[in-house]
Amino acid sequence: MQDATGQRIFPYDLVMFQKTAGAEHDRGLIVRATPGKTDFMVLCADGTEVVKKPCDLTVVDRSFLCPGTAVASVSDHGGQPGVVTGVTTKLDLVQLHGGGADEPCRVVATGVSPAEVRPVRKLTRGDFVVSGTWLGRAVEVCVDVDVLFDGGRSVCRVTNAADRLRVVSKKNSFWNRTKSAFFPGDRVAGDASVFRASRWLKGQRKPSHGELEGTVAKVKTGGVLIYWAASLQDTVSAPPPAYHPNPRKLTFFCPGGKDLMWFWSASARCYFRSRNPATARAPKKKHRNMNRILMTMAKVKRRLKAGVKWPMAVAGTCTTVDVLWQDGTRQLGVPSASLLRIPLRNEKDFFPGQRVVGKVLSPHVTIAPTVAGRVGVVKSLSYKDQTACVSWITGVPGEVVDTVTSTYDLARSPDHSFFYGDMVVSLRPRGNQESNKATNDLSWVGHIADLCDAPYIHVKWGDGTTSKVLLHEIAIIKPRSADEILKELGDWVSDDDDAFHKKAQEDMPRDGLVRGTTAMIGKVRNIIKAVIRTLGGMLHDQVEIYMLSSSMALASRPVRTAITEKIRNCSPRISDGGDCHAGEAAEDEVFHFKHFDVVQSPQDHHYLDTTDPGDGGGRKWLKRVQQEWKILETSLPDTIYVRGFEDRMDLLRAVMVGASGTPYQDGLFFFDLQLPPSYPATPPQVKYHSFGLRANPNLYPSGTVCLSLLNTTGGKGTELWSPEASSVLQVVVSIQGLVLIGQPYYNAGYTMQIGTPEGRRNELPYCENTYLVNLHTMLHLIRRPPVGFEAFVRDHFRRRGQYVLCACEAYLQEGCPVGTLDGEALATEASRERSCSVGFRLALANIVPRLVEAFALIGTQPGN
């Protein structure tokens, strides 16, 4: 939903609205949408919740941004993303009245730094704390409450009050969920037995029965259970006790630093840390306002005498952030309301300073050998071109190699999994360890402030200082939630591609076809790689201006044309003697491969080792399997082929041909199925032949297939498996029709983004990456086809290989978007709407030589 200016409204936004008659506030915090999803519940400073229509609201601040948050500009939220590197928040504070209608909220101070105030309670669940040389997280916090009776003449202290008292005067539920459940001045109630068993600090009240009400005078943190996560001295010293009955010995640590407590937002309760800061921060509009403030402070003092220390409330926030954009530019002091918090849907969304490595998806297809296997640092990225300027670390001190690389050829370095805002602790050398650090010393814990000064990392420490450190001098802390920690007190399959490739080469027939084409293939590879190097050199020369994607496209067009001409003119055309005639004969040969057949079970079937229910499944199970076979024999679409197995009736293997107009065009996708003994009461088990690649949001590298029909993801009604109506045919058709589609990006649950700027920004790179995965999958299948489908794979790519190369040519030369070509790999009307990225063409030019070689080895028919 959008506000009055057309800006999207998010939870925890500070919004302004027209003050109505009798109302005290004109702004508040968005906490949730109403059940009908048409209005918003807005939390005001005094805790009241009001219902407002989106058109009556205006977003004025977003205080929940923090370092490491990905953002986009409100004016161009489909454009390049950035990352927040710094946050500054100022608070406007009001003094709440004591419950009397004649005492409205009074402004106490404006523009207050969060470092000058403290929350009502010292600690809450999930807070980070420091004790000496140890950093921990509070996983359980007990709250003690002092309750006043008889106008303050009697005071009772109730321990562990969260489970024993309830608030009867609180008008909001937001802070009840996220902060202290009790504030001074709240009216609370509890069973008489609770107060009878509690300690009375003043006076004596002996309730007899029923429920009693009183006023909260003081809220304090009782015992705290701490999970100690890291130490300055690693494992040299023993951690403090997990349970701390006295939290005053613990020092609160905000991961963003003492001046960066971003969780402050409207209606939060607080006290000043110093004695009388209000006069220094009071608004300087009129003397009359100052008099009101002084009168309010006098009332506060009178209330303190009565035993209640009334807290202040945050009425508004003003947040500015520092943003590092993908293109390497920085903006300081950006108003938070001009930015949108965005999730990073695209795994190719790298940011300056991130460490990357060259990605290898199939054997012998890598980026330039000068940087292969090395770690690089991203300097800048063009989200439109999908190219990144990377400084590769060579190992020679002070020497780096700068290249412009396709983002599709990059992956995040697994050994450098840190990011802006990540929490760190200093690792001091053992010879200089300090074992007697003060309890409140925060000079050794901090967060990452900058990554662009490689090899250094800039860290902002808890004491407010910033320094440069090397990676081995710090430890990155990946905090877990309190729930995860309490719960504590994988099936990722990777193929050994190198070993397989070696075996495939040993098994490859050394016939005339191989000998006759080796020299030609080598020539093709050398020519294409030379042109690619030329393109790379041209891009390298334009590093400083390569962000201007339109100029890059114009400059690189002749080179891209040269690439595709070399592919077209130099592709091996089998025409001479011996076994080479097999390629010509195949041109006119009718492709015969039954859509369904029953054969012997293959030894590489994923479910081969599972229990065979054929003998013990009973006649009913056997009859159902035979029915499934008959349906498959007569009803399979032209692009799906299935094999049943006479010696293992519970197993099936299916292959689907990728449809034209999708990034899966001309690809082959294999699935192993198993019908369990409980079939059809439960759906089949399905495993995808992934080769460790992610071809779709619903096809995992582990081979897991997420489909509601298989009960592996949510669904309702006819989307779910029905023993009476569902079948194996429905499963395979659903996979092809619902998974292998033209825009796979939206399969990840992003259907609401269809037609939006965010959707358009992410759908194209996802399609491009999917097509590259499709090509790499082809190489894997040619080298190791599933047993029983060797001839099918070979014959498919003999016939369709030329169209795969034609499609590559269309993408390289004409810039057609992925998934817009027809069955003959020709451009359509949709091909003119957009163009594919430069980064995609760079990655494609890198893999085409391997495709040419692989297709030639199996005798692919030459194109016209």
CB 81 within 8 A of CB 342: yes
b/e map 548-569, b = 16+ CB within 10 Å: ebeebbebbeebbebbbebbee
| Beta-strand pair 251-253/269-272 | unpaired
Residue 775 tokens read as: 């090509």
Close Cβ partners of 373 (under 8 Å, ≥ 6 residues apart): 357, 358
Q: Exposed, middle or buried: residue 652 (CB in 10 Å: 0-12, 13-18, 19+)?
A: buried
Q: How far apart are CA 191 and CA 163, in angstroms?
A: 11
Reported as type and span, the H/E element at residue 486 is helix 482-488
CA of residue 184 relative to chain centroid, distance: 40
Amino acid in the structure at residue 397: P
Q: Exposed, middle or buried: residue 386 (CB in 10 Å: 0-12, 13-18, 19+)?
A: buried
Q: Exposed, middle or buried: residue 577 (CB in 10 Å: 0-12, 13-18, 19+)?
A: exposed
DSSP 8-class letter at 659: P
Crossing angle of helices 549-570 and 838-857, rounded to 10°: 10
Query: Coil, strand, or helix at residue 335?
Result: strand
Give the residues across from 388 on adjacent strands.
Answer: 381, 405
Q: Exposed, middle or buried: residue 171 (CB in 10 Å: 0-12, 13-18, 19+)?
A: exposed
Residue 424 tokens read as: 């760190």
| Beta-strand pair 596-599/640-645 | parallel
Choice among 318, 706, 767, 806 that is catalytic: 706
Amino acid in the structure at residue 423: M
**Alpha helices, DSSP H, located in 668-826:** 728-734, 757-783, 790-809
Residue 235 tokens read as: 């494992």
CB under 8 A, 24+ apart: contacts of 170-176: 170/47, 171/46, 171/47, 171/48, 171/49, 172/31, 172/43, 172/47, 172/48, 172/49, 172/267, 173/49, 174/29, 174/31, 174/43, 174/49, 174/267, 175/47, 175/267, 175/268, 175/269
Close Cβ partners of 198 (under 8 Å, ≥ 6 residues apart): 156, 157, 158, 159
Check if 55 is active-site: no
Q: How far apart are CA 572 and CA 524, in angstroms?
A: 8
- Look at the block and give the residue holding tokens 């409450």: 145
Of 315, 345, 394, 173, the residue nearest 765 (C-alpha)? 345
The number of beta carbons lying within 10 Å of the beta carbon of residue 829 is 7
Distances (CA, A) of 320 to 267, 329, 806: 20, 17, 51
Close Cβ partners of 231 (under 8 Å, ≥ 6 residues apart): 133, 134, 135, 237, 239, 425
Phi, psi angle pair for 42, to nearest 5°: -115, 125
Angle at the Cα of 582 (from 577 to 583), degrees rounded to 5?
100
Reported as type and span, the H/E element at residue 302 is helix 287-305
Phi, psi angle pair for 626, to nearest 5°: -65, -35
Q: State the catalytic residues.
A: 706
